[in-house]
Amino acid sequence: MGASFISELLSYVEAGGWVMPPLIVLMVVLWFAIGYRFAALQRGTARGARNLLDKTAKRLAAGKPPKSDGVMVRAARKGLRLKGSGVIELRGFLDDAFWEEERDIKRYDVLIKTIVMVAPLLGLLGTVIGMIETFDSLGDMSLYSQSGGIAGGISQALFTTQMGLAVSIPGLIVNGMLNRKQQDMQLELAQMKDILCAEHTDEMAAAGAVPVGG
Amino acid sequence: MKRSTRMKRLVSAFASMVLGSILVLGMVVLINHFADGLDRNDGDDGDQIVFERKPPPKKEVVQQPKPKPKPRRAPRTPPPPLAGLSGNLSGIDFGLPGFDMSDLNALDGDLLGGADSMVMTDDTVDDPPRATFQSPMQYPPRAKAQGVKGYVVLSLLIGVTGEIEQIEIVESSPEGVFDEVAVQGVSTWRFEPATYQGKAVRAWAKQRVRFDLS
């Protein structure tokens, strides 16, 4: 089973011409990026932003270690520490501190999108090359030669398109799901910032330190 | 970012890389496997059809009275030609310029760009090109030592004067052993050009060169 699978695969790669190796490399890179992104987009908690901030504040006060290393948990701890340090312009500091998390959840996003778009185009390129070979063989009458000829050209044309689409379609679906997750998390990070700033302003006003507006 | 987090992401990325690649390649192989399966005929079912032939039922011979011969119609005479049709038309001016058929032949050469640039094949010419001089070829020493036999099928483009303009290897068995010798040998041959409608034309011809130890 395994050996026949590999030999069949090799025959397709050979039939597809030089477009096939780049396509396979693209496929490997694509799935590497998807796996990385999947791991990076772990929230670490199922709680909403407000709830999470409350719980994290308690854990920080008790001196306990974080429950997980998810993005939201890390951001909450950072934000609370910043608020506790008593800076005045809290929002600017939060933007700065959350930058790392925001970069984390966006990492490889563009790469995946690019590969998903480029793979079918590479397949199309292979198709055109195969068609050129076909017409060449019509021109010089080597229709049924061992290498190439009509059959070789057409099979190259079809296999490359097929491979391009096969690489692209699953990547497109999975990336759609990951994108949704990323957008949710970006929204929640922004929400967390708002909550922290609002609490901070209240506390400052209560202490009478600065006028409202931070 | 902590070391353990980074490791977790990398492990996830590599796992997804392997699984995703297997998924995509498996999909491609599976699709093509089933596509092949459509053409394949196992021959298990429906390879034998037995016809039961019943003897045709005997016709009862009924003596019927002979039908009366139909009354013959008198053969119709063709309608008399319209008298004076050409006479009627001759007075009408169609506004057509005179049309001289003798110009058509003169057009022939220009319209198709002359027969010189045309390339024909074995099947389309009246007389295929024939070899007038065939020099013996040297058997490749290594193949001779190993007792290898084989053949090479060449496609030759023979010009109007009988010279070889192009040589393509269409098929060879075993691949690559006799190719060079065959091409070199054939290029010294002389040919009589193919003729089409009495004129020499360029044409592709197939030439099979057999290498036999005897």
Shortest Cα distance, chain B CAs vs residue A208, angstroms: 37
| Digit-coded pLDDT (tens) for B47-96 | 555 666 777 667 676 677 776 777 677 667 766 655 555 555 555 566 66
| Digit-coded pLDDT (tens) for B161-201 | 888 888 888 888 888 888 888 888 888 888 888 888 888 88
Contacts of B9 in chain A (CB under 8 A): 36, 39-40
- In this structure, of A103-107, B110-114, B118-122, the range with the lowest mean pLDDT score is B110-114
Q: What is the 3-state secondary structure (H, E, C) of chain A?
A: CHHHHHHHHHHHHHHHHHHHHHHHHHHHHHHHHHHHHHHHCCCCCCCCHHHHHHHHHHHHHHCCCCCCCCHHHHHHHHHHHHHHCCCCCHHHHHHHHHHHHHHHHHCCHHHHHHHHHHHHHHHHHHHHHHHHHHHHHHHHCCCCCCCCHHHHHHHHHHHHHHHHHHHHHHHHHHHHHHHHHHHHHHHHHHHHHHHHHHHHHHHHHHHCCCCCCC
**Smallest CA–CA distance from B29 into chain A, residue:** A9
Q: Which residues pair with B207 in a beta bridge?
A: B154
Provide the pLDDT for residue B213: 79
Closest CA to A56 of A184, A199, A180: A199
pLDDT reading at A33 higher than 70: yes
pLDDT reading at A77 higher than 60: yes
Number of Cβ atoms within 10 Å of the Cβ of A116? 21
Among candidates A39, A141, A163 on the partner chain, residue whose Cβ is nearest the Cβ of B9: A39
pLDDT reading at A64 higher than 70: yes
Q: Confidence band (pLDDT; 50, 70, 90) for B210? A: confident
Residues in chain B: 214
Among candidates B16, B26, B170 on the partner chain, residue whose Cβ is nearest the Cβ of A32: B16
With CB atoms and an 8 Å threshold, state whether B24 touches A167.
yes
The pLDDT mean for chain A works out to 86
Q: Does A99 touch chain B (CB under 8 A)?
A: no
With CB atoms and an 8 Å threshold, state whether A5 touches B21.
no
In whole angstroms, how far apart are CA B2 and each of A43, A65, A81, A168, B11? 16, 14, 18, 33, 14
Counting residues of chain B whose pLDDT is more than 70, the rounded percentage is 64
Shortest Cα distance, chain B CAs vs residue A197, angstroms: 25
| Digit-coded pLDDT (tens) for B71-85 | 677 667 766 655 555
Provide the pLDDT for residue B78: 66
The tally of CA atoms less than 13 A away on the side-chain side of residue A147 is: 8
Predicted TM-score (pTM) of the model is 0.60
What is the Cα–Cα distance from A9 to B107, expressed in whole angstroms? Answer: 56
**ipTM of this complex:** 0.79
Q: Which two tokens stand for residue A144?
A: 């049924």
Shortest Cα distance, chain A CAs vs residue B29, angstroms: 6
Contacts of A27 in chain B (CB under 8 A): 20-21, 24-25
With CB atoms and an 8 Å threshold, state whether A145 touches B32.
no
Check residues A173 and A12 and name the one with the higher pLDDT.
Answer: A173
Counting residues of chain A whose pLDDT is more than 90, the rounded percentage is 36
With CB atoms and an 8 Å threshold, state whether B16 touches A34.
yes
* CA B104 and chain centroid, separation: 32
With CB atoms and an 8 Å threshold, state whether A36 touches B13.
yes
